[in-house]
Amino acid sequence: MALSDPLNMLASPLTIIERSYEPHDIEAVVSLIDRWQVGLIIVGLPRTMNGSVGQQAEKVNTFVRELSGHTNVPVEFRDERLTTVSARRLMQSARTKKTRQKTRDDAVAAALILQGYLDETYREQGVNS
């Protein structure tokens, strides 16, 4: 997971929620939403390389539908293709253990997804202002 700064200009990695049991996973996400007073949830949608919605994206959609039943915070999807690859490249020099690698890569990937959304929104606002 990642959060933006109060001005919605910079995304930073926050934490990783290790998937275990969906009700617990939902509770953990909702707890973070409440704690950080999240106003919008950006979810990476893992599309296939040709842009279609595959099996993993369907799992994400199912999880988001369940999450939406536990919070009133709106959700928007972002294409997350290649964000983990980008995160790995950014984190290559900081690696120590394989387990920590995945955790860091996922947190940085979440920040990259959010940063892409923030950058796009900022550009749109600049053009429309």
pLDDT in tens, the chain (129 residues): 999 998 888 999 899 898 899 999 999 999 999 999 999 999 988 877 787 888 888 999 999 999 999 999 999 998 887 565 555 555 565 555 554 445 567 778 888 888 889 988 877 776 554
Residue keyed to tokens 């919008």: 40
Decide the pairing of beta strands 11-13 and 2-4: antiparallel
Under 8 Å between Cβ of 83 and 50: no
Give the DSSP letter string of 111-122: HHHHHHHHHHHH
The predicted model scores a pTM of: 0.74
Phi, psi (deg, nearest 5) at residue 111 = -65, -40
116-125 pLDDT, tens per residue?
899 888 777 7
* CB-CB neighbours of 38 under 10 Å: 17
* Alpha carbon distance 35, 100 (integer Å): 25
